[in-house]
Structure 1
């Protein structure tokens, strides 16, 4: 197992848990087109001031809720580490925490002996990836990979490529909404066209991201957002669907005796 393969997998998995991303729909999702695309029927859109007010109201609601159930899809389109992973579980903010199942991951598939599905836990300022029992010979019998926010590995070129710069602003859902509400580019795109979701779509640029789109439901809570980020010629898309605001989870860090740090693991691999 090469150092680069481990690093690609670990950093991408950790990025989705640390970066409390936005939920939305990828290209081809029929439920995300905003009404108004037709030249014959242009719906009334809100002014920038009204759009900012609606996003601020969603910010207040999500801040008070403190957590939600999420379904996330991370896609990385780059020459260095293309691929993707899906995450489901509970995510919290203030403080940031997560307990997520990981599956449909090209990064896990690239590691011989890695589990097909695994778990990511973010707690106490660090993120942990369950490596499973099949990799114990390479990890010193440590089951959990630990990556600390802002650690030595967080600033290198590959890490920045994989996270698309999102980690630099330590984004969570309320913070993302607050930045969008204060952006000079925030605008109301229109209502969702098609599908069962009743929502208004807002978008704009915020620091660290090329584009953020938010779908705000009739109850004032975001139901979807999408964050596109460009870095070093690559594109990272983090997509999440939100439900069950206020959902509870334990967010308990694994015992220290069962964890190995990313840099320690890479050193072990290099010696091997």
Structure 2
């Protein structure tokens, strides 16, 4: 294997994981897999969540904070802004806090990373140590159409997480569950909210689009809790997935809806396309 190809493969899992951190992470304990499911969805909960989906979608942008844990592979935190009116755009700062992938990234001189969502691609900025081995370029560009085909089952799962980062997508996930229900009234960061939960098993999902998304991501079961405020806006999400490669637990907080989001692509001279990293080149010394 050439040096360039080896570097690309090492970085693949780390960067895809970083991209998923925009609205994901470990937070409140998720419901146990053995929890007995309600036979049918609660009509009032479905109506409230459909209203929340519309209100959150109309808001167009938000500030996000998250933390992520994927087994022993990685844990991280992230913060930034995302907009979803006319396509996903945004900028996040991601900090690695533990796990084997975090150790790999530290060895490359990177403990935190900037990530940018733009209509054409997802961009990740590496550290100076990586740039020194990549022709002086700090940024890696992942074209959206290329993401899902990279990295096997875990790569496909994380690519789906990157592409579905807008908060109303979390509400759609709950609505897709056959047992969506109201859980409780709870306070989140000083706000009175209503908590809803749904569990979707891939084999039971009737929506063709969601079923295909779960299939591509290798998800066999997905439990999502969302907290909605008095204005019908999503303020928190906790998601637990069973995938082909293990369990993923994710949490995201949303606030400052309507915030201005302005993101520009990195300078072309400081950007390397991921495909080029996977192209055979001179062997590493």
Please report the TM-score for the alignment, with normalisation by the length of structure 1. Answer: 0.79
Unaligned runs of 5+ in 2: 32-40, 201-209, 215-220
From 115, 122, 125, the equivalent of 1:127 is 122
Name the counterpart of 2:17. Answer: 12
Q: CA RMSD in A?
A: 2.9
Name the counterpart of 1:259. Answer: 271
**Deviation of the 1:123 alpha carbon:** 0.6
**Deviation of the 1:27 alpha carbon:** 2.5
Unaligned runs of 5+ in 1: 33-46
Q: Secondary structure at the match of 2:67?
A: strand
Q: Secondary structure at the match of 2:148?
A: helix
1:105-127 deviation per Cα after TM superposition (whole angstroms, max 9, x unaligned): 44344232423222111112311
Range with greater deviation from structure 2 (238-247 or 211-220): 211-220
Whether 1:224 and 2:269 are equivalent positions in the alignment is no
| Paired residues of 2:66 and 2:79 also in contact (CA < 8 A) | yes
Matches within 5 A, 1:183-222: 183-192=177-186, 196-206=190-200, 207=210, 208=214, 210-222=222-234
Q: Determine the C-alpha separation between the residues in 1 that align with 2:156 and 2:140.
A: 18
Q: Determine the C-alpha separation between the residues in 2 that align with 1:258 and 1:240.
A: 31
Please report the TM-score for the alignment, with normalisation by the length of structure 2. Answer: 0.75
Structure 1 runs, 4 residues or longer, greater than 6 Å off: none
1:24-78 deviation per Cα after TM superposition (whole angstroms, max 9, x unaligned): 83329xxx9xxxxxxxxxxxxxx71100111111111111111100001121126
Q: Secondary structure at the match of 2:57?
A: helix
Aligned length: 247
**Deviation of the 1:165 alpha carbon:** 5.9
Is the alpha carbon distance of 1:102 and 1:193 closer, same or farther for their aligned partners in structure 2, counting shifts above 3 Å?
A: closer
Q: Secondary structure at the match of 1:8?
A: helix
